[in-house]
Every structure is written in structure tokens, then in C-alpha cells.
Structure 1
Amino acid sequence: MFKRLALVPLLLLSFLATGTAPAQALHREPLRILLTNDDGYSSTYLHQLREALEAAGHEVTVVAPAADASASGTQINARFGGTIEAGKQDHGWAVGGSPSDAVSFGTRVPFAGDLPDLVVSGPNPGENVAAAATYSGTVGAAITAVVAGVPAIALSVARDGSAVPSAARSIAFTVRLVNRLAATANGGPVLPARTALNVNYPVTPNGTVSLAHLGTSLPYGAGYTPAPEACPLCYRIVPIADPGPDPVPDADRTLLAAGNVTITPLDGSWEAGSATATAIRSRLRSLTP
């Protein structure tokens, strides 16, 4: 589970809460953006977002997995001495690996010595909220960017069955979000150090953008049923939905279901909070090597 940021700069809170700012405050510099995803370089949504960001004046280089790499989390190829295949494309690079491989390669080859201002990962067809964010390749790419010292945005869009009816609106929103971050950076980093924003866009927006906590439930998970027709030791992986409420107040999963656009700041840390650490320290006080 990613640790929630205890503090978010007041400026970030303000512009996300209000959704607007005085026109004179919206001057921005174009950003150099590394764009990736977990659905592969050929994803239509990826290139729609690329075109929208470029139309807004940003410089975009796509560095994405060559093929679909969904649900890969922060998986990365660290087999030193091995190889990874990466080929130049019309708008960037296609990398034979995971989203994290793509971001790691991108920061060390196309952007070697001059890191991008921002990594944007997505749009992913299907939300990545609560505990599901842990397994998301979309979010994993953003966390890999943070580890490399680059702020990031992970964008996911809720499904309506197999359809993603708000994909176009989510792309337009992401451009506005990127523009707002650029306009309020005041010459500094696009986001505070070690910060990624996990953005989830609802099927039917209700007009509210909310800073949300990362929930702890799994909206969906994997079940296993015997599949002897496939092989003697095989189990078939089947989806299991959990329609119950998330126990965390103002959880991203809950607010997204209500129609809010949710934005959850992440710092990539799996460290437990101070109260948990204090309790463990007390219980282990007499433990010796």
C-alpha cells in the first residue's frame, strides 16, 4: 500500500478545490513530458492524449511498453547483463517490457542527462482506486518516475461495462490539470518532490474534483477455480467484485462512484505511519540480535 502524503502544499489543494484561478495567474511555460501507459504503444487513448497535450503547447515524447502490460504494478527488468528491446517510433519509443521498464528506459536514454518536467501515465481504461492501485501498471509507471526524481500523473478512467464513455472528457481534464500545474509552478518543480498524482475520472462527472484518500479495499480481485480441462494442476483465474463500501473516509473509490474526479497524492513509500511504527517499536523493545 502506498503511504498517503501527510502534507500537500496549500497551492495544490487550492487550485484542485476551486477548479479555477484568475486569468492572470494562468501563464505557463510548456512542459517536456514523457508519456507512457500500461496498454501499449499503439493504444488509441495514449495518442489522443499525446495530441491533446501537444495542441496545448507541450513537448511530448512517448515511451511506452511495446505491448499490453496491464496489472504489472512496479515490475521492472533488473536482470543485469540481460537485454531489453527498445525501438524508435514516429512519436517516441516502444519498449519491450513493463510500464516501469518504459519509464526507467525513458529517463536514462531519450531523456538522459536532462530529465523531463513530468511523466504522464495513461489514460487507462478502467479505474485504479483503493488497494487496486498497488497492482496497476499505470500507477506503477508513475511511482517509477517519482523514484527517478520526476513528478508524475497517473490517469485512469472508470468503465461502464466494457465501454469508456468519458475517455475524451478525461483527456481534456488531464490537459487542464497539466496546464494548471505548469501555471502554478512559479518557476519551480511541477509538483513537490517525490509526488505523483493518482487521477481517476468517473463515468458521469458530477462537477466536483476532490483530493481523496487512497482506499484500502479491493474493488475487484482474483478468484481461482479448478480447470482440469486445461491441465491436471490448472486453476482458472476469475474476477470477483466487491461492491461493499471502503472503510477509509473520503476514499477515492467511494468518491469516484459518486461521480467525483478523484486526485490522490502518492509518494511511492510503503512505510507505515508513525503511530504504527511507535506501536511496533514498543513491542520489540526487549528484542536482541
Structure 2
Amino acid sequence: MGLRILLTNDDGVDAPGLAVLSAIARQLSDDVWIVAPDGNQSGAGHRFSFGRELEVEKRDDRHFAVVGGSPADCVVTGMTHLLGDRPADLVLSGVNAGQNLGDIVNCSGTAAGAREGALQGAIGIALSQSMDYDVSRVVDWANAEQFGAAVVEALLAAHAADDVFYNVNFPYCAPENVSGIAAVAHQRFSRSPIRYYASDNPGRFFMAIPETPEPLDPKADFETLRQGNAITVTPFALQQTHETALSRLSALALKGSGAS
């Protein structure tokens, strides 16, 4: 039985990056399903639409939009309903328009799609095509298109019984300048990059990332992608317990309560 693949994203079911992802997936399997939000869900993180009715809009037999749904909603809908009694072996999320790096992954709907895929028992991979916002807001998908299938195949071959999902970023450069693939840690910022950003409209504001906190680790994802022109791959653990802190907290006691 061949590889069954579920695709989702956070830019919406009609986003060009999802078409790129579909082309990548179809190089790997004929059994490809799409379940994606009907509109843009960027920054939705791992939100679920609890307590609110959702609706599935059928595009064709293996292509669906979840009206008002988040990427996590879409993966659950696909894995536990639309794909029937055989959920996907692989969940691909993206290709996001813009890089997902460092602590920004925590709010990324693209990353959440891959994370939920892994939580549902599949191999989860998030893919993003980086861009230089100072140069243009038009995304050049060339590197995702050229290298996407090979990167996914490499991760499938390397995957073991690891409790992880993978975050992949393609660099902003010409394909001939891509230096290779690099497995790197994510950039842990000194503070959150998310900030209040004033609007030109009185009394209104945005949530934005006006600048990247520094210093940056030259060996982490941000600088490896930006300075090294490498395709970055970062495995993120699903088990988030900090073992050192857990051990330290084992000595906790309630003073004066008599509890031990």
C-alpha cells in the first residue's frame, strides 16, 4: 500500500504555496489529499475552533476546504473523518509564503499543521519558502519547487521512532546558489519578537514583528538560512517537558501543610 499524504496550510486553500506543495507531494505519491482553511489563517498557531460549528466545502473527491477552520482543525478533520479508516502516513503543511524560524514557529499555523499531523500519528513536516521583505512581497517559489520532494524524501528516510515534527525552510537565493541541507536548532530569541505596532488609523494597532531580536546564533536556523543559503531542517519535540526543571521540582513541598 502506497504512501498516503495529507496537505494543509495556513495561507488558505487557494494560496499558491499550496499548489506548490501539491506538486511536491505528487512526486512522492498518487494518494494525495488536501484539507485546508478556506481563508488566511496566518499566525493562528495551534488554535482549535472549540464550541463553534465548522463546515467542510468539497472541491473534489480529495480536495476540501474547512470554512472558518484553522490548520489544526483541518488536519483533525482529515485524519479522523475525511480520509476514512486509513489516516495519512505523512502530513505536509505549507508551502508557507515567508520563512518560519526561531520562536516564531510557536505562533505559526504552518508549523501547527505539521505538529498536529505528528500528534495524530503521521510524520509531520512544515515547509516554508523564505523571502526578503525589504526587496519584494512577491514570493519566488523556485527553491521549494526544485528541492521540496528531495527534502521530504530525505526526511522520510532519516525518520525513526522520534517523537518530533520537522520544520523546513528554503532559502531566498537562486537555486544554483543553494548550499545544501542543514539540520540546525531553532533560534531561541532573548525576547518575543511579537510587538504592538501602531496603525495610521487613530486608536487602531497591529500585532507585528517589526524587527528580529538580537544577538543571533550563527549556527541556528535564522543565520544558517540567511547567511549560508542552506535549506534548514529543525526537529521539534512533541514531548515538551523540561527534564532538568522537572528533576529540580521533585523536591517541592507545601510548607506547613503536613503533606510530604
Does the alignment reach a TM-score above 0.5? Answer: yes
Smaller-chain TM-score range?
A: 0.7 to 0.9
Which residue does the alignment assign to 1:17? none
Matched letter for residue 198 of structure 1: N
Matched letter for residue 66 of structure 2: V
Secondary structure at 1:109 match in 2: helix
Q: Residues 243, 236 of structure 1: CA spacing in aligned structure 2 closer, same or farther, 3 A cutoff? A: closer
Measure, in 1, the Cα distance between the counterparts of 2:215 and 2:55: 43
Per-residue displacement from partner, 1:219-258 (whole Å, max 9, x unpaired)? 842224387724xxx44445420252335x7321221122
Which residue does the alignment assign to 1:77? 49
Which residue does the alignment assign to 2:117? 145
Which residue does the alignment assign to 2:65? 94
Q: Which runs of 5+ in 1 are unaligned?
A: 1-28
Report the Cα offset of residue 267 of structure 1.
Answer: 2.5
Measure, in 2, the Cα distance between the counterparts of 1:56 and 1:238: 36
Which residue does the alignment assign to 2:185? 213
C-alpha contact (below 8 Å) 1:130/1:219 kept by paired residues:
no
Q: Residues 66, 244 of structure 1: CA spacing in aligned structure 2 closer, same or farther, 3 A cutoff? A: same
Matched letter for residue 163 of structure 1: V
Q: Note the 1:1-289 alignment, pairs <5 A.
A: 30-79=2-51, 82-90=52-60, 91-96=62-67, 97-161=69-133, 162-165=137-140, 167-182=141-156, 184=157, 191-204=160-173, 205-217=177-189, 220-225=193-198, 229-230=202-203, 234-242=204-212, 244-247=214-217, 250-258=219-227, 259-272=229-242, 274-282=243-251, 284-285=252-253, 287=255
Report the Cα offset of residue 201 of structure 1.
Answer: 1.1
Paired residues, what number?
Answer: 247
Per-residue displacement from partner, 1:28-72 (whole Å, max 9, x unpaired)? x84210011000000112112212322444421111011110000
C-alpha contact (below 8 Å) 1:53/1:60 kept by paired residues:
yes
Measure, in 1, the Cα distance between the counterparts of 2:195 and 2:147: 31
Measure, in 2, the Cα distance between the counterparts of 1:58 and 1:181: 19
C-alpha contact (below 8 Å) 1:164/1:203 kept by paired residues:
no
C-alpha contact (below 8 Å) 1:34/1:106 kept by paired residues:
yes
Measure, in 2, the Cα distance between the counterparts of 1:63 and 1:191: 26
Q: Residues 266, 132 of structure 1: CA spacing in aligned structure 2 closer, same or farther, 3 A cutoff? A: same
Per-residue displacement from partner, 1:199-232 (whole Å, max 9, x unpaired)? 01110254121111122116842224387724xx
Measure, in 2, the Cα distance between the counterparts of 1:55 and 1:238: 36
Measure, in 2, the Cα distance between the counterparts of 1:219 and 1:276: 21
Report the Cα offset of residue 195 of structure 1.
Answer: 2.3
Matched letter for residue 210 of structure 1: A
C-alpha contact (below 8 Å) 2:193/2:209 kept by paired residues:
yes
Q: Which has the higher contact order (CA 8 A, sep 6+)?
A: 1
Measure, in 1, the Cα distance between the counterparts of 2:44 and 2:114: 13
C-alpha contact (below 8 Å) 1:151/1:192 kept by paired residues:
no
TM-score with structure 2 setting the length = 0.84
TM-score with structure 1 setting the length = 0.76
Which shifted more, 44-53 or 121-130?
44-53
Report the Cα offset of residue 110 of structure 1.
Answer: 1.5
* Identity across matched positions, percent: 28
Secondary structure at 2:194 match in 1: strand
Q: Which runs of 5+ in 2 are unaligned?
A: none
Measure, in 1, the Cα distance between the counterparts of 2:95 and 2:39: 15
Which shifted more, 91-100 or 53-62?
53-62
Secondary structure at 1:257 match in 2: helix
Measure, in 2, the Cα distance between the counterparts of 1:153 and 1:133: 13
Measure, in 1, the Cα distance between the counterparts of 2:199 and 2:13: 35
Measure, in 1, the Cα distance between the counterparts of 2:205 and 2:17: 33
